[in-house]
Amino acid sequence: MMLTIGEISERCNVSQDFIRDEIKRGNVPAYKLGRVVRIREDEWNAYLARNRIFPRPSAANDNRKSKSHREAVDKLKSILGG
């Protein structure tokens, strides 16, 4: 299935300019059919998969802060009276 820039923009809640920029950068393959630019749905899905962000494995249980960070926070609190 072929999608227009407008359809992708609505589905993903991004601007049409963002999608056009990704096409210009070569990140998303597109096809010009007459006056309308279209993107194959499977190629858009592949783009999304390539840009997926995975959390670091240790991020879920890494709530420790460095000593210098804690010291800086404590200093700010004392300055601000908190």
Q: Which domain holds residue 46?
A: 1-54
User: Count of domains in the chain?
Assistant: 1
- Per-residue pLDDT at 71: 83
On the question of pLDDT at 60 being above 60, the answer is no
45 falls in which pLDDT band (50, 70, 90)? very high
Tell me what pLDDT residue 63 has. Answer: 58
- Averaged pLDDT of the chain: 88
Kindly state whether residue 61 falls inside one of the protein's structural domains.
no
Q: Does residue 67 belong to any structural domain of this protein?
A: no
- CB-count burial class (<10 Å; 0-12, 13-18, 19+) for 40: middle
Round to whole Å and give the CA distance between 46 and 24. 17
Please report which confidence band the pLDDT of residue 66 belongs to, taking 50, 70 and 90 as the band edges.
confident
Q: What is the pTM of this model?
A: 0.65
**Mean pLDDT (whole number) for 34-40:** 96
Which of these, 9, 10, 11, 2, lies nearest to 36 by C-alpha position? 2
